[in-house]
A and B are shown apart, each in its own frame.
Chain A
Amino acid sequence: MKRWLFLAVASFLQAAEPLPLVELPKGQTFLVFQPHHDDHTTDYGMGGLIARLVDEGWKGWFLRASNDEKDGAASYGVNDQVNLRESQAAGKVLGMEGVYSMSWRNDYMDSIPLLELREQLIVLIRKHRPDVVLGHDPWAHYDRNPDHRKVARALAEATWMSGLANVHPEHVALGLRPHRVPVLFLKARWDYGRGHEANVAVSLTAEQVRRKAIAYQTHRNVYASPAMGASICKQLEAEGLTATELDGLSDGDAAVRIEEWYMDWISRKVGAANGAKYAEIYYRVAEFDHLPGLKSYLEKSQLKK
């Protein structure tokens, strides 16, 4: 299965035109809005960009909207607690300041009022006043995960509506000031149809990719399981192949090593397709993209104070 995924991703990346490698916008604070404990460390984006933002002096917080109770082989309560702990640990590896868990019921988000979820995001935006928000692309197609879709839709509105004083004026009464998020970096699987088509690439260093890989396999409740390591070693053996780097490793250590290779491979592959050693790709919404008629006028006419 993983081999097919490799091939699909590889063929997609080879076919794509190189994207512009962009500099990070000016700023100091970012928020990551995701439904799940591990969404900030996936192979298709976030972990590398988070590590780079932190390396360049930004402070970031992660929002886990669901309780992840279904993710893992344990019971609901145990999955929830273990996944949260691992999410906090992964956030530390990347250098984030902390994790907010909204703990909505995993994969049962349909019943959550969208406006209530949106308000939770608005509160965090007004508290932290981020210059950048990272999250799933609300306009991506064929995302079968209902939590991805729900949180992305809440993000789509929260990031601009938080700038309007008449949206939840009670927040303003508590001392939170309106704040519109100027820049978004949105991710989705590249191979899920034409909805999400990245428009920028962000280059990464080897060290940032290394932290991304560690953060990813910190989620031991769901990734890098000894069973996965054993299964891959068994398959290699069945096909008459050997990987000397795995010799003498326990199944658990082999699994970790394989996950690290995968993250290095995919980050290198994306980098090569876009003119960098390592990279991640995103749909970036820039500060005045919502005003298409004024964007070029504002770029031409604005002056430094």
Chain B
Amino acid sequence: MKIFLLFATVCLWNQSVLVVTADASDYVLCAGGTLAKLASGGAQITLVRVTNDDKDSVNLLPEETANRVRQESEAAAKELGIAKVIHLGYRAGELGGVSPTELRDRIMFYVRLTKPDVMFIPNPYAEYVEVLDRHYTGMAAEEARRTATMPNHQPAHAIAGLSPHIVKELYYYSAPVDPRRREPEGPAQFVPQPVVRDIAGTFTRKLRAAQALTTINQAMAAAIHRRLEDTGRRLPLFDRGLTESAVAKLVEENVRGLAALCAKDTQFRQAEEFHHAGPDYQVPLRYSGAAKR
């Protein structure tokens, strides 16, 4: 057993992970616990953050919002043990006007540069996720994983010393709003499968990472407060105003709620849900069967 654990640790130690996120909060809330666990095992994690989150704040101009969220997203990534953050800087909420090919190729560059064993990307097929930047980012990242393997996609990369790369494993993450997210859409050979990962051991780090995103969190709290006020309701948590501690508590409720929702009907107490394309994905059965034998 000890030898197995040592072997597993050594394997993880050299593992490279690339996380693609549309915005600062999505990957933290959906995959933060799992990423913290990988980082603890020694994985080298790189984050590509596609938009600059310039829209979501209280009484701040877009430029100031973007600057603050950039710093806060680096702090959040640090909490999770992410080694490097790359900010692509697209304007938030405007990916619908960006060329999907351009976005794909920018992500593909980082696939070839960091040569990940595993990628985490937003699930573009998750339904009722209202932030469509996550859909566009997911589509581009999924495609980037494929095109990164082919030398005729952006052959100029080869001149710069970037060779094609195959990413062996892929996790799709999304907020648990799709009512049918746990229904497998087909066999694992063809379709990524719903999986649940235990995050009890890294929950606290995930929470700290989420709380580090103070600008976005204040905006979320203010929006909830406004909605309740406008409809003659109140949240006792906000009775002393939207204080730092009240907002931090709201974030804690959110992260706890998400972890409990994802752990529902599983053996875990706190969890995250994914769709996982593992080693068998898109490998014809006759080959995967032979490999297993």
Contact = CB atoms under 8 A, between A and B. Distances in A.
Interface residues of A, number: 43
A294 interface: yes
Interface string B226-258: 011101111111000000000000100111111
Contacts of B259: 293
B61 A166 contact: yes
Contacts, number: 107
A180 B131 CA distance: 13
Given A153-B96, A163-B223, A166-B65, A301 B237 contact: yes
Contacts of A285: 128, 130
Nearest to B258: A293
B257 A139 contact: no
Interface residues of B, number: 47
A182 B233 CA distance: 14
B261 interface: yes
B100 interface: no
Nearest to B132: A157
A114 interface: yes
Given A164-B93, A303-B233, 13 more contacts: A26-B231, A159-B130, A160-B130, A161-B55, A169-B62, A180-B227, A285-B128, A293-B253, A293-B254, A293-B258, A294-B254, A296-B257, A298-B224
Interface of A: 26, 113-115, 118, 139, 153, 156-157, 159-161, 163-167, 169, 180, 182, 194-195, 197, 199, 283, 285, 287-298, 301-305
Interface of B: 29, 54-57, 59-62, 65, 93-94, 96-97, 127-128, 130-132, 175-177, 179-180, 219-220, 223-224, 227-229, 231-237, 250, 253-259, 261
24 contacts: A26-B231, A114-B96, A115-B97, A139-B128, A156-B132, A164-B219, A166-B60, A167-B93, A169-B62, A180-B223, A180-B227, A285-B130, A289-B128, A292-B176, A293-B253, A293-B254, A293-B261, A294-B257, A298-B235, A303-B233, A303-B235, A304-B232, A305-B229, A305-B234
